[in-house]
Amino acid sequence: MAKSRNASVWPWLGLAALILLIDLFTKVLILGYYRLGDSTTITSFFNVVRVHNSGAAFSFLAGAGGWQRWFFTAIGIAAAIFITWMLRSHSGQKLFSFALACILGGAVGNVIDRVVHGYVVDWLDFHFGFLSGFFHGGHFPSFNIADVGISIGAICLILDEILRVRKSR
């Protein structure tokens, strides 16, 4: 029984690896073709930029003096270990495992950035006028593919929990 459970974890780890590879590939392109602060307008609401984030989401603790690099790296490594263990234990739960795999791929992508560069490379810049009251110039904080994976995973975790609670009623 344990053998089949372990074998079924591989598709989820494969999904995490795919997210990681896409994230790393796009960051290599940005680092290779853009200097810090460069921007290319793609549409009226989307730019490709090069931003360095030494903090966490929304640049939380970005100016904390450097200790946050290792703090967020340690959290990312601990999360990756815990998520891998959870995937092995729950690989038959499709939505839950999909969510964990998305988060795992994103977390590892951002950990690699922190270890290699000391910051996370962000490059997706969406901006809308209605966001002006919340963000400078209506620009949502820049992000990357790893962040997309983490966000999709978080949404799917919430959805999985809602569905689980409804099913138990």
CA 49/CA 70 separation, integer angstroms: 25
Residues facing residue 125 across a β-bridge: 47
Residues facing residue 127 across a β-bridge: 139
- At 35, is the secondary structure helix, strand, or coil? coil
Q: How confident is the model at residue 60 (pLDDT cuts 50, 70, 90)?
A: low
Is the Cα dihedral 161, 106, 19, 41 positive or negative? positive
CA 77/CA 111 separation, integer angstroms: 7
Domain limits, the chain: 2-168
Residue 5 above 50 pLDDT?
no
- Class of residue 8 by CB neighbours under 10 A (exposed 0-12, middle 13-18, buried 19+): middle
pLDDT digits (tens, 9 = 90+) for 152-169: 999 999 999 999 999 888
- At 56, is the secondary structure helix, strand, or coil? coil
CA 76/CA 85 separation, integer angstroms: 14
Q: Are 146 and 24 in contact (CB under 8 A)?
A: no
Active-site amino acid positions: 122, 147
Provide mean pLDDT across the span 138-158. Answer: 96
Per-residue confidence (pLDDT) for residue 68, from 0 to 100 = 72
Per-residue confidence (pLDDT) for residue 131, from 0 to 100 = 87
**Whether this model's pTM surpasses 0.85:** yes
The H or E element spanning position 123 is: strand 120-126
